[in-house]
Structure 1
Amino acid sequence: MTPVNLLLIAITVIVSWMAFNNRKLTDRLILWPPAVDRHRQYDRLITYGFLHADWPHLIFNMITLFFFGGQIEGLMVRLSGSYLTYPAFYLGALVISILPSYIKNQKNPNYLSLGASGAVSAVLFAFILLSPWTRIFVFFIPAPAILYAVFYVGYSIWMDKRGGDQVNHSAHLAGAAFGVLFMLAMQPSIFNHFLTELANPRFGLVG
């Protein structure tokens, strides 16, 4: 059972759905740097991750979280003996993944950001660290997780520099880095496990 992951999915779906037709709710929860900087609404560094731009954005993130988050939650419970570790990891990923964007746009009244992608990236890269050769489906195309990770990082760096697509690629990168570092901080031996797995390709399958 992975109750926390399922609860996070349920809360995100409900809040996003409510906000689709409630501009006031969106305006209060979205990451808007001046509200944090001037009005000390630090909760926005987390609440933005429970909003999404539209249904495809929400569904893609939640499907990814469903398939990988449960496995990471289960591992964290076994390693730490606590169900609090995974929610701390997820909420921490929301904060850390948005910090580069917040700092860069701290005085920018035109900057807005929403979506769980940074935290979902943390979950996904934590999984890839554990099982790099697992085949995952990316837009219905199977690919080894480690190859997807390389492409994901390269594409995110390129698009972050290029800009113009209204996607917060820096949050994806920061979230991915946080996921890897958090896992290694919890269990440093995972790095040796990763190297061993990398040297011995075994193609499993995750839907």
Structure 2
Amino acid sequence: MGILSLILIIANVIVSYRGFKDSIFYNKYKFNVDAVLLYKDYKRLVTSGFLHVNWMHLIFNMLALYFFSGSLELSLGPVRFLLIYFLSLIGGGLLSLFIHRHDGGYDSVGASAGVSGLIYAAIALFPGMKIGLLFIPIGIPGWLFGLVYVLYSIYGIRSRRNNIGHDAHLGGALIGLIVAIIMHPSVLVTNTWPIVIIMLPSVVFMYIIITRPHSLMIDNYFFNKHSNAVTIDHKYNIEKRSKEQEIDRILEKIHKKGMKSLTDKEKQMLQEYSR
């Protein structure tokens, strides 16, 4: 393991531990849609990558960073290695921001986007590398792991079956792959098919969610089976959107007819919202 990988792991442990102990610190630096879009707190795209939900979340990401970073750091050098890591963190956050742009209460933390970027950079450069997984005695080719991971991330974004930030994983992975190709364009010739196999489903999916955002509306067996189970967060976001729409209506009424046109109830609602 290189010195930069060790520094990243230490930084993640220190910042995450502070977040475990201090909820104010955690909330100040986690990724949150409203904080980024409304308050322009762009640093959260990076700082959230050094926070984790719990020790298991932290340990899993740090183990992945440990196993994949060594050869990549030696191959790329310190500047390029860090560039891939931080661009992947930002890329993962931006994809999450785009997908959840209408869900102001959405937040997330974790180094997964940066780690995914490093993993996919390694796959772009060394597609034949063997990747060992827990409980599987033999290693699988890096390109096959990359394809399965991309497809699983797309399924996770589409189904929203769990609370894992699949969008950040996919965004980070794609940025890591692309930046590695830019740094070493010769791999497009030597590793053409593995790169195409990994990139194709990602590009198609990105095109779909940009041109047809309604395709992210949930319509699958898992959701249909559990559609009555509304979480507290989901209920909060529904109520928040409803209130914001009502305030927009009141402001539009003021614009057209003036303050005197408001009812007592509308005035009270406007006062409460302004607090």
| TM-score (norm. length: structure 2) | 0.65
Asked whether 1:160 is paired with 2:161, we answer no
Partner of 1:69: 69
Partner of 2:58: 58
How many Å apart are 1:131 and its aligned residue? Answer: 2.0
| Conserved? CA contact 2:84–2:179, under 8 Å | yes
For residue 173 of structure 1, the aligned residue among 161, 170, 174 is 170
Distance in 1, Cα, partners of 2:35 & 2:45: 10
Partner of 1:5: 5
Partner of 2:98: 103
Partner of 1:17: 17
Please provide the CA RMSD for this pair: 1.9
* Structure 1 runs not aligned, ≥5 long: 78-82, 199-207
- Structure 1 or 2, whichever has the larger Rg, is 2
Asked whether 1:44 is paired with 2:44, we answer yes
Distance in 2, Cα, partners of 1:64 & 1:183: 18
Partner of 1:31: 31
Within-5 A mapping of 1:89-128: 89-128=84-123
Between 1:129-138 and 1:37-46, the stretch displaced more is 129-138
Deviations 1:145-201 (A, max 9, x none): 222112111111111100030111111111111111101111100222324999xxx
Q: Which has the higher contact order (CA 8 A, sep 6+)?
A: 1
How many Å apart are 1:32 and its aligned residue? Answer: 1.0
- 1:192–1:111: structure 2 CA closer, same or farther, 3 Å change rule? same
Letter in 1 for 2:22: N
How many Å apart are 1:45 and its aligned residue? Answer: 0.7
Asked whether 1:194 is paired with 2:160, we answer no
Distance in 1, Cα, partners of 2:103 & 2:53: 20
| Conserved? CA contact 1:130–1:193, under 8 Å | no
Aligned pair count?
A: 193
Deviations 1:24-68 (A, max 9, x none): 111011001211223221110100100111122111111111121
Partner of 1:202: none
Residue 38 of structure 2 aligns to a residue whose secondary structure is helix
How many Å apart are 1:88 and its aligned residue? Answer: 2.2
How many Å apart are 1:107 and its aligned residue? Answer: 4.9
4+ runs deviating over 6 angstroms: none
| Conserved? CA contact 2:92–2:168, under 8 Å | yes
Letter in 2 for 1:46: V
Letter in 2 for 1:95: I
Between 1:155-164 and 1:128-137, the stretch displaced more is 128-137
| TM-score (norm. length: structure 1) | 0.85
Residue 53 of structure 1 aligns to a residue whose secondary structure is coil
Residue 116 of structure 2 aligns to a residue whose secondary structure is helix
Distance in 1, Cα, partners of 2:125 & 2:86: 21
